[in-house]
Chains A and B, each alone.
Chain A
Amino acid sequence: MSRVGVVSWGAYIPKYRIRTEEVARIWGDDPLRIVDVYLVDEKSVEGLDEDAVTIAVEAARRAIRRAGIDPRRIGAVYAGTESKPYAVKPISSILVDALGLSNNVFAVDMEFACKAGSEGLVAAIGLVDSGRAEYGMTVGTDTSQGEPGEHLEYSASSGGAALIVGKDGVAAELEAMYSFVSDTPDFWRREGSPYPMHGEGFTGEPAYFRHIVGAAKGLMEKYGYKPSDFTYVVFHQPNGRFPVRAASMLNIPMEKIKPGIVVTHIGNTYNASALMGFARVLDTAKPGDKILLVPFGSGAGSNAFVFTVTDLIAERQKTGVPTVEEMLRDKIYVDYAQYLKMRKMIKLFE
């Protein structure tokens, strides 16, 4: 038994991709300019029969397979999403039966834009650390929405990432966590509204940068870290530019954030964005590596976590579970019409 930490991780990226230039072709944008603005070359698209539930199940199954634990030992399961197929009916209870958990499990879906999945991590850590659950699981899952022809469409994508927290068999020990939250009207979606709205100039300085930098700086000041302590730093990735800029504001060199950047290849998977970057880092991390993880959710808030990789990481990396890198390469390109069909955006009689 060690201190509480991440025992296992699992990620899932749907196979379908649409290139930024294909989206730009439809809406009359200059593809080179769009790629230059967002640093997103292509994004993942869920299949016609996929949604935030199926994506969550796949990511969670991979995390359980990697952990090699009996799923009935998991005492808490949280789903963080902003693309629930049901307005009312939890994803977390579907996870209970799809994963074969016991019925004695704390379960809820969380919503805080892209931060909910990482808030599930906080809750799982609390239950495990206090001894009320042996293992806890959180899944960030989304098939995120963007109005066709609007900025968000160039990045809003689909994917999931799951983490299992425990005290036994820890591969990345938790050292510290810190949060930074305020009421910021940077991005929202009203009940029943199909696409989110965003407050243009609000998304950068007062939202993403203030909260990411606020959480990271707060954590470093409170617990006495400096940027050079970290081997890797992973931020939420709404586009390719924001995490790079956040790093420079925190004096973190580029080579520490590059391994955790996935947005260029799959877009912004919302609740899975930072957790997917974290999974990619864990896929290749070495014992002793220190990882700073800072997810962000609009509305707005950030959690900052510091993990230290343990000797058990090598064992977890050799379980045959697909790596994020393998999934980034395993893809089928679709055109804009197929994309609309897969995303269920063509109006049909039902």
Chain B
Amino acid sequence: MRHESVPIYWRNIPHYYRLVARRCKRCGAVYFPPVAKCRCGSTELENVELPREGRLVEYTVLHQVGTDFLKQKPLIVGLVELSNGVRVAGQIVDAQPDKLAPGAKMEVVFRRVIADGKHGLVMYGYKFRPVGGI
């Protein structure tokens, strides 16, 4: 699989590492992943860091996965509603799929996402996991 390039990864560090989103200064809408222009037409947006806890909205278990994730099967992917109402999709770790349920309390964790072979860059980013363990 062709990985994201090093420059693109580098540019995305604030949003991968700290969930830095864009908030519209005119109408207050928050975008994650970040966008350049708001639905209301405004291009005046500011950076805002999203909260690191929320609730699981829905999830699915992937048995067919991309080559970068072949050794992590099955992959749990879910949608989490953060405590400020913003919904973020991401991988769910440290969890057993049959014990997960919508509404479960989730926290953001910092994990390895892709390692570019044995010699390339290790790309880090956010994932989610259930709070308090299951």
Contacts and interface: CB of A to CB of B under 8 A. Distances in A.
A58 to B, nearest CB: 6
Given A85-B122, A97-B13, A100-B18, A49 B71 contact: no
Interface string A53-73: 110011001000000000000
A15 B110 CA distance: 14
B92 to A, nearest CB: 12
Contacts of A15: 94, 133
Given A47-B94, A49-B93, A98-B124, A58 B109 contact: yes
A54 B133 contact: no
B118 interface: yes
A86 B122 contact: yes
Contacts of A331: 133
Contacts of B110: 54, 57-58, 61, 98
Contact of A332 (B71, B94, B124, B132): B94
Interface string B39-81: 0000000000100100000000000000000011000000000
A11 B133 CA distance: 16
B117 A350 contact: yes
A187 to B, nearest CB: 26
Nearest to B122: A85
B111 interface: yes
A33 B109 CA distance: 38
Contacts of A47: 93-94, 111
A51 B94 contact: no
Q: Which of B72, B111, B115 has the most CB of A within 10 A?
A: B111
Given A48-B71, A51-B112, A332-B94, A94 B124 contact: yes
A236 B94 CA distance: 28
Contacts of B94: 15, 47, 332
B129 to A, nearest CB: 8
B17 A97 contact: yes
B89 interface: no
Contacts of A98: 17-18, 110, 124
A49 B133 contact: no
A330 interface: yes
Contacts of B109: 54, 58
Interface of B: 13-14, 17-18, 49, 52, 71-72, 93-94, 109-113, 115, 117-118, 122, 124, 127, 132-133
